[in-house]
Amino acid sequence: MYRTKTCGELRLSDVGQTVTLAGWVQSVHNLGALTFIDLRDRYGITQLAFTEDSSEELKKQAAKLGREFVIQATGKVEERYSKNKNLPTGEIEILVSELTIINESLTPPFTIEENSDGGDDLRMKYRYLDLRRPTVRQNLELRHKFAFEVRRYLDEHGFLEIETPVLVNSTPEGARDFVVPSRMNPGQFYALPQSPQTLKQLLMVAGMDRYFQIVKCFRDEDLRADRQPEFTQIDCEMSFVEQEDILQMFEGMSRHLFKTIKGIDIPALPRMTWADAMKFYGSDKPDTRFGMKFVELKTTQVDNASKEIVPSIFPEGFAVFDSAAYIGAICAEGQAVYTRKQLDQLTDFVKRPQVGAKGLVYARVQEDGSVKSSVDKFYTPETLNLLKEKMSAKPGDLILILSGDDAMKVRKQLSELRLEMGARMGLRDKNKYSCLWVIDFPMYEWSDEENRLMAMHHPFTSPKPEDIPLLDTDPASVRANAYDMVINGVEVGGGSIRIHDAKLQQKIFEILGFTPEQAQQKFGFLMNAFKYGAPPHGGLAYGLDRFVSLFAGLDSIRDCIAFPKNNSGRDVMLDAPGVIDQTQLDELCIDVKLPSTK
Ligand code: ASP
Which ligand 1 atom lies nearest to the CA of residue 494?
5
Distance of CA 373 to the CA centre of its chain: 38
pLDDT of residue 596: 77
> What is the residue with the minimal CA distance to atom 1 of ligand 1?
197
The predicted pLDDT at position 597 comes to 65
Q: Within a 10 A sphere around the Cβ of 50, how many other Cβ atoms?
A: 26
The strand order across the sheet containing 295-299 reads 295-299, 326-332, 398-404, 361-365, 371-373
Task: Name the β-bridge partners of 22.
Answer: 72
Q: What is the pLDDT of residue 106?
A: 97
- Looking at the CA of residue 539, tell me the nearest atom of ligand 1: 8
3-state secondary structure of 461: strand
Residues found in the chain: 598
> Which atom from ligand 1 is nearest to the alpha carbon of 495?
7
DSSP sequence for 510-522: HHTT--HHHHHHH
- In the reported structure, the alpha carbon of residue 494 is separated from the centroid of ligand 1 by a whole-number distance in angstroms of 6
Per-residue pLDDT at 28 exceeds 80: yes
pLDDT above 70 as % of the chain: 99
* Digit-coded pLDDT (tens) for 373-418: 999 999 999 999 999 999 999 999 999 999 999 999 999 999 999 9
CB 378 within 8 A of CB 296: no
In eight-state DSSP terms, residue 259 is: I
CA of 506 to the centre of ligand 1 (A): 20
Helix (H) or strand (E) holding 537: strand 537-543
548-594 tens-digit pLDDT: 999 999 988 999 999 999 988 999 999 999 999 999 999 999 999 88
- Can you give the pLDDT at residue 172? 67
Give the separation between CA 37 and CA 49, rounded to whole angstroms: 7
Write the CA distances from 568 to 118, 179, 220, 233, 555, integer angstroms.
Answer: 20, 18, 11, 22, 18
Q: What is the average pLDDT score of the chain?
A: 95
Is residue 349 within 8 Å of residue 356, measured between CB atoms?
Answer: no
Amino acid occupying residue 254: S
Mean pLDDT, residues 431-447 taken together: 95
Please compute the mean of the pLDDT values over residues 200-213 and round it to a whole number. 98
- Residue 190 has a pLDDT of 97
Evaluate whether 398 touches 340 at the Cβ level (below 8 Å). Answer: no
Cα-trace Rg, the chain: 30
pLDDT at residue 598 greater than cutoff 80: no
User: Per-residue pLDDT averaged across 335-343, rounded?
Assistant: 96
**Beta strand spans in 523-595 (E):** 537-543
d(CA 454, CA 461): 12
What is the signed CA dihedral for 486, 481, 299, 388, rounded to 10 degrees? -40
Average pLDDT on 351-363 reads 97
Confidence category of residue 262, pLDDT binned at 50, 70, 90 = very high
Whole-number Å distance, alpha carbon 499 to ligand 1 midpoint, is 14
**Nearest CA among 123, 105, 104 for reference residue 113:** 123
For the segment 133-143, what is each residue's pLDDT rounded down to a tens digit? Answer: 999 899 999 99
Q: 460: CA distance to ligand 1 center in Å?
A: 10
CA-nearest residue, atom 7 of ligand 1:
495
| pTM of the full structure | 0.94
Phi, psi of 422 (to 5 degrees): -55, -45
Predicted local distance difference test score (pLDDT) of residue 117: 78
Is 545 in contact with 560 (CB distance < 8 Å)?
yes
Give me ligand 1 centre to Cα 467, in Å.
Answer: 22
What spacing in Å lies between the alpha carbon of 495 and ligand 1's midpoint? 5
φ/ψ region of 244 (left if φ > 0, alpha if ψ in -120 to 50, else beta) reads alpha
Ligand 1 mutation pick, 457, 483, 491, 545, max ligand atoms within 8 A of CB: 457
Ligand 1 atom nearest to 196, measured from its CA: 1
- As a whole number of angstroms, the distance between CA 185 and CA 539 comes to 34
Pocket around ligand 1 at a 6 A CB cut-off: 195, 197, 494-496, 539-541
Mean of pLDDT values over 254-271:
98
Q: Which one, of 580, 559, 577, 557, lies nearest residue 568 by Cα?
A: 577
CB atoms within 10 A of CB 141: 13
List, in order of start, the domains of the chain with CATH numbers.
12-103 (2.40.50.140), 137-271+435-560 (3.30.930.10), 290-424 (3.30.1360.30)
Res 173: pLDDT: 67
**How crowded is the C-beta side of 124, counted as CA atoms within 13 Å?**
19
pLDDT, residue 115, reads 78
Which residue, among 234, 295, 303, has the nearest Cα to 274 in the 3D structure?
Answer: 303
For residues 485 and 285, the answer to whether their CB atoms sit within 8 Å is no
